[in-house]
Amino acid sequence: MDLDQKVSRAVKRGKIYNMEHFHQAWEDPNLRRLMGNELLFPPSPRVVEALQAVLKSANYYPEDASTNQKLRAQLADYVGIDGGPDWITLGNGSMEIIDMLPMTFIDEGDEILLPTPDYSPYTRRPLLFGGRVVDVLPDEAFNYTLQSFLQRITPKTKMILLSRPNAPVGNMIDREVIEALCDTDCMVVVDEAYAEFSGQSLCGLVAEHPNLIISRTFSKALGLGGIRLGFIVAQPEVIGAVNRIRMPLNVSLFGLVAASAALEDPEYIRTNVHKVIENREYFYGRLSEIPDLKAYPSYGNSILINCDATGHTAGDYIQKLLEAGYLVRNQSNARGLPGDGFFRVTIGTREDMEGVARVIRNFTLGEG
């Protein structure tokens, strides 16, 4: 049998994601996990308690995202929208949302504008539905102007998709740019995975703009990456369209219960966000003192570094850090990050950031 003749066009366009960094982290629990932009602090005790209590009901299906009222009402409150549950639907992590949105909107030949660099899985999913990815290019400091988007819009442009704060850079596209993009005829999707660390969100704009969709996740500030829960905020008509292609029961009972319990402990969320921001600023300060090393200011929970001018490659730094027990992420030659000098460090505890800064400094100065 010639499998190539049997598989769909989508499969032929598909590519396997490289998830090796998570494998490496799970294989060696002694490594500090600074590679995946997770929260490095454990879930709230309330979450642990709620999960323990629900384990004995694991034989039952959960409620579906279309009928669930409690969590979606909590989420509407959390992001500060008045409309309630009808303005929200849920995903199995926001990665599933990145899958569902092209499935909802992209037809053969449609164009989708993506900043370059931005979160790499964005490039893959639209291709499956025959979409064409159009790169939007930043200036040298990775800033995207309104013009950089507008000049790429054609009659075929269906969607503009971007993260804010940007992954992997950590900077923010101006609110005014997004507002102006919402005045075009395109669907505008803003992935706010890291919003809590920036203190800014555009959820308040959704009521005015029927073409704006905000994606959020429990994997970052809310510290539930293993639970897999994301959600979108949009007008009810958009939510209805997404629900038509969403798999029934896509979110587990444990996802629903853990997310609800996490939102019932806002003080815990605030404390963790505060710690990440403090440690991020400390780490950025330490990196900025190292000659020839370029660290990019960040509103997220990671810092992108370019070591081109030090005479070493990102791979050299990553190896040194690994020897010291820190697993970080190579971003060399990632989309929009040319050369072999880019790597990214997730913000962990103060002790993590002191240790990583020390290794990077010593290696750069030839002392380690």
Ligand X SMILES: Cc1ncc(COP(=O)(O)O)c(C=O)c1O
255 lies in the binding site for ligand X (CB under 6 A): no
Give the nearest distance from C-beta 363 to ligand X in angstroms: 26
Nearer to ligand X, 225 or 341 (CB): 225
3-state secondary structure of 45: helix
- Tell how strand 302-306 and strand 294-295 pair up: antiparallel
The residue from 85, 131, 170, 225 that contacts ligand X (CB under 6 A) is 225
Give the nearest distance from C-beta 85 to ligand X in angstroms: 20
Tokens of 62: 């959960």
Neighbours of 198 (CB within 10 A): 20
347 lies in the binding site for ligand X (CB under 6 A): no
Contact at 8 Å (CB) between 304 and 170? yes
Nearer to ligand X, 76 or 214 (CB): 214
Residues 184-203 that bind ligand X (CB under 6 A): 191, 193
Q: How far is CA 278 from CA 21, 282, 293, 299, 353, in A?
A: 26, 6, 21, 11, 11
Contact code string over 118-157 relative to ligand X, x by CB under 6 A: -x--------------------------------------
93 lies in the binding site for ligand X (CB under 6 A): yes
User: What is the rounded CA–CA span in Å between residue 68 and residue 70?
Assistant: 6
User: What is the rounded CA–CA span in Å between residue 324 and residue 356?
Assistant: 8
223 lies in the binding site for ligand X (CB under 6 A): no
95 lies in the binding site for ligand X (CB under 6 A): yes
Nearer to ligand X, 220 or 312 (CB): 220
Q: Which residue has the tokens 């029927």?
A: 210
3-state secondary structure of 209: coil
User: What is the rounded CA–CA span in Å between residue 322 and residue 300?
Assistant: 23
Give the nearest distance from C-beta 155 to ligand X in angstroms: 28
User: What is the rounded CA–CA span in Å between residue 351 and residue 348?
Assistant: 8
The residue from 167, 276, 327, 345 that contacts ligand X (CB under 6 A) is 167
Give the nearest distance from C-beta 300 to ligand X in angstroms: 8
3-state secondary structure of 196: helix
Nearer to ligand X, 85 or 93 (CB): 93
Cis before 165? omega within 30: yes
Residues 13-72 that bind ligand X (CB under 6 A): 37
Nearer to ligand X, 119 or 296 (CB): 119
> By the criterion CB under 6 A, which residues form the site for ligand X?
37, 93-95, 119, 163, 167, 191, 193, 217, 219, 225, 230
